[in-house]
Amino acid sequence: MEFIPVRIYAHTQPTGYRLLVDRVWPRGISKVNAALDEWAKDIAPSTELRKWFGHDEAKAAEFTQRYTQELDANPATPAFITHLEALDAARVLLLFGAKDETTNNATVLAAYLRQKLGA
């Protein structure tokens, strides 16, 4: 299974299982146009962590560490991973709304899932 972080605002997107991984719905995107398969807001960073990070590049390494710790401690994570393992999808698009396409929760989550699932 391949995990691909994709900005939800991107004009062209690969095909795959469409999973929104933000806690807050992205502005300007209608639920119809988002064409989601699932919204996993309980796996997203906590509100406190999201606000602390503020997409500040200088905080990226610590954000990665803190978000990974949240995922490890999150009681929803094991069921989420089991759910992903059961999917019949070769590609899972981890959709996010942040402007920064390299430093965001979806890229951290993709690395986390690759490590946990050996993908």
- Each residue's pLDDT, cut to its tens digit, for the chain (119 residues) gives 999 999 999 988 889 999 999 999 999 999 888 899 999 999 999 999 999 999 888 999 999 999 999 999 999 999 999 999 999 889 999 999 999 888 999 999 999 999 999 86
Q: What is the pLDDT of residue 88?
A: 84
Closest CA to 36 of 60, 57, 19: 19
CA Rg value for the chain: 13
Domain that holds residue 85: 2-117
* CA trace torsion 97, 36, 85, 113 (10° rounding): 0
Q: How far apart are CA 94 and CA 104, in angstroms?
A: 11
Domains: count for the chain: 1
